[in-house]
Amino acid sequence: MLSGKNILLIISGGIAAYKVLEVIRRLHDREINIRAILTKGGAEFVTPLSVAALTENKVYQDLFSLTDEAEMGHIRLSREADLVLVAPASADILAKMATGQAGDLATTALLATNKPVMVVPAMNVEMWNHPATQANIATLEGRGVMRVGPAAGDLACGETGSGRLAEPAEIIAAVVDFLEGQPAGKPLAGKKAIVTSGPTHEPIDPVRYIANRSSGKQGHAIAAALAAAGADVTLVSGPVNLPDPTGVKVVRIETARQMLDAVQAALPADIAVCAAAVADWRVAAEAGQKLKKDGSGVIPDLKLSENPDILATISQNGSKRPNLVIGFAAETENVVEHARAKRARKGCDWILANNVAPGSGTFGGDHNEIFLISAVDAASDEVWPRQGKDGVARALVQRISRHFA
């Protein structure tokens, strides 16, 4: 299944570089073609000869090599891969990626690529925890860069904590999951999709509002994956701190009522994915001025009204109902049971249930564990492995593509 897939592997500096040789060997066993760029720092820990022997391809090092540019220009090198894998990803190369530097072959290829990028960080624990590194990681993930690790444990420097390169088996699993989850070609070309994402903010007064902890990462990832599969995508997004997905029309809203209006304006559509965490209630009478404490100890009586049910409205929309309506069920207990009841109550086709209990790391995090509920009985339930939200998005798009096929 992976025969013919191509990876551009960038090996940056760090003692963990030796572990990457095992990654190369095991990916090569799966008939994945690997071309490698070895940075100057990376060459201090592994030799070009060892990398070339395992990849069975030439190793590239010099941006200004006339021979290399004649055989395989850096633009072509960055474009012919299905995935660009940076392992180990040092603090230095992460910083250069975040700021768009292009001072050597590795960073130039990363800046020039239009392919998905996955990084596997490895560094000292203090370097990993430094605000600059964390800001760089946040920037890269906001641009859609995938991350594996780092793991926690004993480090080569003698300290203990987060910063270890993820184990080869974990790296390989992430790469294989990605390559197997890629939609072939443009299976959804000609289809129109609507995706909702993020939280809604329901105002109490001009300063305060009711909201939830949704980051919008999952909804935005789904919109991006649908667009990559050829769909014409409208993303209706609540307030989030995320960049707009490439090739997607984005409509920004604040409240549940605004979200419903935007979704209905985007109809008709073939696919609707309601991934937003819409507030169930709003304040019945929003205050025109900021509510203040007056020293009396009397607490304002906030009467709540129920917000419109966007998923149910779309699912029961008669002739304008999309062919496939998918909802999310964010649950803290009895996840599958509650999701099955929600699907029946709303009238949607599928429910993607996830556990958002404290400690799950789902809200605001980068990973998700999904239960796909598509019928009344448990026999048709699907349990997807815990994976990155980009992986969930690709798996969902594959499932949608099979539905229409």
> Any known ligand binding at 290?
yes
Beta bridge pairs of residue 249 = 234
- Amino acid letter for position 197: S
> Any known ligand binding at 328?
yes
- Do 253 and 259 form a contact (C-beta atoms < 8 A)? yes
Q: Which of 53, 132, 152, 157 is catalytic?
A: 157
User: What CA–CA distances, in Å, run from 126 to 19, 133, 134, 136, 167?
Assistant: 21, 10, 11, 15, 20
> Any known ligand binding at 260?
no
Count of Cβ atoms closer than 10 Å to residue 53 Cβ: 13
Structure tokens at 309: 């049910």
> Any known ligand binding at 168?
no
Alpha helices in 202-248 (DSSP H): 217-228
Structure tokens at 204: 């109490």
> Any known ligand binding at 311?
yes
> Any known ligand binding at 320?
no
> Any known ligand binding at 165?
no
The secondary structure of 85-123, three-state, reads EEEEECHHHHHHHHHCCCCCHHHHHHHHCCCCEEEEECC
> Any known ligand binding at 310?
yes
> Any known ligand binding at 346?
yes
Count helices and strands in the chain by DSSP H and E runs = 14, 22
User: What CA–CA distances, in Å, run from 9 to 78, 83, 275, 391?
Assistant: 10, 8, 33, 20
- Do 271 and 192 form a contact (C-beta atoms < 8 A)? yes
> For this structure, is 157 an active site residue?
yes
Binding-site sequence positions: 280, 290, 308-311, 328, 342, 346
Active site residues: 157
Binding site for CTP: residue ranges? 280, 290, 308-311, 328, 342, 346
